């Protein structure tokens, strides 16, 4: 966990305040190759959890934004199945930006 905290702090320091919001804003101006696959996986993520069980559930939009931001931030990885579950679990305990 300490390693993760160090990486997060370093990324915040290098990228500056508001990085998560800037990533999402940049997405509005461009196409994200991962967007289609993310959309397909959202309802498969934790289907028995009330935050992710239907399209208008509370966590679905947050999960979409976190996954899109990650795919924009880390273009080498982009998005791959499994990230949705990690992000969904993080969102159960952390804020949207902290989950990113």
Could you tell me the pTM of the whole model? 0.84
Residue 19 lies in a domain: no
The domain in which residue 37 lies consists of 33-99
Residue 6 lies in a domain: no
Q: What does the pLDDT look like over 30-46, one tens digit per residue?
A: 777 889 999 999 999 99
Cα separation, 50 vs 52, in Å, equals 6
Residue 82 lies in a domain: yes
Cα separation, 9 vs 11, in Å, equals 5
Please say whether the beta carbons of 91 and 70 come within 8 A. no
Residue 28 lies in a domain: no
Residue 2 lies in a domain: no
Q: How many domains does the chain fold into? A: 1
Residue 61 lies in a domain: yes
Q: What does the pLDDT look like over 46-89, one tens digit per residue?
A: 999 999 999 999 999 999 999 999 999 988 888 998 999 999 99
What is the chain's mean pLDDT, rounded?
87
Q: Position of tokens 């199945």? A: 81
Q: Provide the CATH number for the domain around residue 80.
A: 1.10.8.270
């Amino acid at each position: 966990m300490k390693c993760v905290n160090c990486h997060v702090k370093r990324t915040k320091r290098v990228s500056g305040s508001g990085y998560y919001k800037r990533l999402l804003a940049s997405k509005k101006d461009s196409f994200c190759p991962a967007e289609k696959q993310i959309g397909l996986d959202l309802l498969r993520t934790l289907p028995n959890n009330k935050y992710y069980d239907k399209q208008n559930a509370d966590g679905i939009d947050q999960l979409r934004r976190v996954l899109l931001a990650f795919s924009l931030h880390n273009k080498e990885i982009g998005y791959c199945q499994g990230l949705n579950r990690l992000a969904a679990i993080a969102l159960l305990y952390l804020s949207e930006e902290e989950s990113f």
